Every structure is written in structure tokens, then in C-alpha cells.
């Protein structure tokens, strides 16, 4: 399998592709939806809500944090997650721009 030649694409295209890749998993969408309804959240709460194993949830949280969508605070053995609203708005703007400027001119 060949490697993707990311260097031939713009920074904006690469960033958008990364966002789509991270958001392409339905478990991550469910996690975002769950966290967005909470004031703060503990990882075990997410495990109970989503129904996946704790290591799997941790991996999904890591992916969401990799694009800056989640912030987490460590309180002893507990990690509380919330959505970074600045990044949320930035991603929303990027997605809106993509969908608003991409034309569908086919048969």
C-alpha cells in the first residue's frame, strides 16, 4: 500500500482531511454528543454511556484530543473532559467553508 503524498495538498486540505478522519467513527460522534450534554465528564461515565471497553474509549478520546476538540483536566485518578469551544467553532467554520464553497456540478 502506497503512502499518501500529503505534501502536494494545501495545509487547509490536510487539516480538513484529518478532521474528517477523526470524526468518521460513530463512537467518536457519540462521545462528542454525550460530552456536549454534560458540564464535565469522567471517562467511566463515557464507558457506561457508550458501551465500549475503557481502553477503546480512551483511544477514541485520544483521537478527539489530537485535533484539539477536547480538553481534559486530571483530578487525582479522574479525568474530566469537555469540548474546547474555541476549537469547536474553528472546526465548524472550516466545515461550513468546505461545504459552502464546494460546488456539485455533475450530471
Per-residue pLDDT reduced to its tens digit, 31-54: 999 999 887 677 778 888 899 998
- For residue range 52-92, what is the model confidence (pLDDT) as tens digits? 998 999 899 999 999 999 987 766 667 788 899 999 999 99
SS (H, E, C) the chain: CCCCCHHHCCHHHHHHHHHHHHHCCHHHHHHHHHHHCCCCEEHHHHHHHHCCCHHHHHHHHHHHHHCCCEEEEEECCEEEEEECHHHHHHHHHHHHHHHHHCCCCCC
pTM for the model: 0.82
> What CA–CA distance (Å, rounded) separates 38 from 34?
7
Amino acid at each position: 500500500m502506497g503512502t499518501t503524498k500529503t505534501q502536494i495538498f494545501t495545509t487547509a486540505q490536510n487539516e480538513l482531511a484529518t478532521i474528517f478522519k477523526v470524526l468518521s467513527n460513530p463512537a467518536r460522534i457519540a462521545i462528542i454528543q454525550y460530552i456536549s450534554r454534560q458540564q464535565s465528564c469522567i471517562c467511566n461515565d463515557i464507558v457506561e454511556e457508550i458501551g465500549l471497553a475503557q481502553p477503546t474509549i480512551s483511544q477514541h478520546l485520544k483521537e478527539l484530543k489530537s485535533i484539539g476538540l477536547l480538553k481534559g483536566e486530571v483530578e487525582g485518578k479522574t479525568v474530566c473532559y469537555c469540548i474546547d469551544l474555541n476549537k469547536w467553532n474553528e472546526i465548524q467554520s472550516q466545515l461550513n467553508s468546505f461545504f459552502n464553497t464546494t460546488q456539485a456540478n455533475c450530471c
